[in-house]
């Protein structure tokens, strides 16, 4: 059951990025949450924070003429009754069909009882990708 819920969460997440759907992406996150990249750490505590941060990300994706977002490899492990660790290797494809960004993202996902929500994401180079105990297929 948890595998299905995780697949559903990240399929919705992927779909929201492909379609620049601010509400869709925001709904995948628990507030407060943190986004960690090699450049910065961002604490999101409100819907306005989400709109600002994801608005910047969507602007970059639109400028690259993003045509697809592909999960190349995905796996997870249940860390406690309510917490999951998920690792996904992503390819972002531009309008010419070329990969313009690829990275590994490690997500901490909380089961709120009503839904799964991302509470933290850490993005790294692909070399830092993890293979966790349960694979996720797309």
Q: What is the CATH number of the domain that holds 83?
A: 3.10.450.50
- Please check the confidence at residue 10 and state whether its pLDDT lies above 90: yes
Q: Is the pTM of this model over 0.85?
A: yes
Q: Phi/psi at 54 (nearest 5 deg)?
A: -70, -25
Contacts of 42 (CB under 8 A, 6+ apart): 34, 35, 36, 49, 53
Count of structural domains within the chain: 1
52-87 residue pLDDT tens: 999 999 999 999 999 999 999 999 999 999 999 999
Q: Distance between CA atoms of 30 and 118, rounded to whole angstroms?
A: 6
Q: Distance between CA atoms of 17 and 11, rounded to whole angstroms?
A: 10
Domain enclosing residue 7, as ranges: 2-135
Q: Phi/psi at 13 (nearest 5 deg)?
A: -60, -50
Q: Distance between CA atoms of 119 and 29, rounded to whole angstroms?
A: 6
Q: Provide the pLDDT for residue 27.
A: 95
15-61 residue pLDDT tens: 999 999 999 999 999 999 999 998 999 999 999 999 999 999 999 99
Q: Provide the pLDDT for residue 1.
A: 65
């Amino acid at each position: 059951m948890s595998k299905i819920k995780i697949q559903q969460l990240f399929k919705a997440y992927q779909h929201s990025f492909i379609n620049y759907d601010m509400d869709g992406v925001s709904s995948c996150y628990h507030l407060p949450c943190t986004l960690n990249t090699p450049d910065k750490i961002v604490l999101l505590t409100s819907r306005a924070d989400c709109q600002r941060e994801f608005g910047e990300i969507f602007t970059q994706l639109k400028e690259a003429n993003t045509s697809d977002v592909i999960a190349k490899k995905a796996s997870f492990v249940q860390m406690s009754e309510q917490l999951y660790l998920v690792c996904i290797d992503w390819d972002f494809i531009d309008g010419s069909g070329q990969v313009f960004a690829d990275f590994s993202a490690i997500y901490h996902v909380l089961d709120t009882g009503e839904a799964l929500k991302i509470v933290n994401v850490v993005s790294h180079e692909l070399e830092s990708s993890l293979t966790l105990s349960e694979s996720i297929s797309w």
